[in-house]
Amino acid sequence: MQKKKATELQQAWGAKPCPHPAFAKEYDLGERTGNYVCTQCGAILSFREKVEATKGRGE
């Protein structure tokens, strides 16, 4: 997912809590950033944060 799209998702989602049900790899200007974007709320998580967020969910 492009960083720009993640920002749009964040603005659309607002400040509601999100369980981060699914992630996409983050791209900025066509290059991997190494981060992940929640496809629901647009939150950008590092690889380590993503692992923490999905721990125990069988992913």
The strand pair at 31-38 and 44-45 is best described as antiparallel
Question: Is 18 in contact with 10 (CB distance < 8 Å)?
Answer: no
Residue closer to Zn ion, measured from CB, 34 or 45 = 45
Find the angle CA(29)-CA(35)-CA(38) to the nearest 5 degrees.
Answer: 100
Q: Nearest distance from residue 56's CB to Zn ion, in Å?
A: 16
Any contact of residue 40 with Zn ion (CB under 5 A)? yes
Any contact of residue 20 with Zn ion (CB under 5 A)? yes
- Considering only residues 41, 44, 45, 53, which one is a binding residue for Zn ion as defined by CB under 5 A? 41
Q: Nearest distance from residue 34's CB to Zn ion, in Å?
A: 18
